[in-house]
Amino acid sequence: MSTPKLPLSEDERKLLRKAKIKLMDLKKYSAAELSATLQISMDRAEHIRGLAIFQGIPSIGPSLAKNLTELGFSSIEMIKESGESGAQLVDRLERLHGVWMDPCVEDVMRLAVYHASHPESEKQWWDFTAERKAYREQHGYLPDRPRKAWHVETE
């Protein structure tokens, strides 16, 4: 397992070192513990913890972990409790950003949903590509899906 990449300030990094907390171990601490240790708000602590947790899922990196936190998740349990599918998560993410996402983002969302029920799984995002393609072939996309692609620069 690799060390998560987290948007920590230098002061936050110093406080982690002082508390002898490794970045790889952040997900083991509660948001309340992180809030107290890092002297940050609970919202920031939940965000940081969520980023660390999601980067612990096979093949989820910092950017896609951030997408999950943007959807309001800070734990695997929250994803499971939401009852949303990977397709629903990517639909919400597209509306949030106002652009359609690369198809592999949906594969990652499907992986996150699967991992919520199978935490020991070593499946990777590409294990969900065929499932996504079959689903989209049958159901398509929402009629109000953004028309602009994620990679097109804003004007």
pLDDT per residue as tens digits for the range 38-97: 999 999 999 999 999 999 999 999 999 999 999 999 999 999 999 999 999 999 999 999
pLDDT for 155 beyond 70: no
Mean pLDDT along residues 5-15: 97
The whole-angstrom separation of Cα 34 and Cα 96 is 28
pLDDT exceeds cutoff 70 at 1: no
pLDDT above 80 (res 23): yes
Closest CA to 113 of 102, 98, 127: 127
Parse the chain into domains and list their residue ranges: 9-54, 61-150
Is this prediction's pTM over 0.85? yes
Q: What is the dihedral of CA 39, 44, 49, 50, to 10 degrees?
A: 180
pLDDT in the model for residue 2? 81
Given a cut of 70, is residue 15 above it in pLDDT?
A: yes
Question: In this predicted structure, what is the pLDDT of residue 152?
Answer: 79
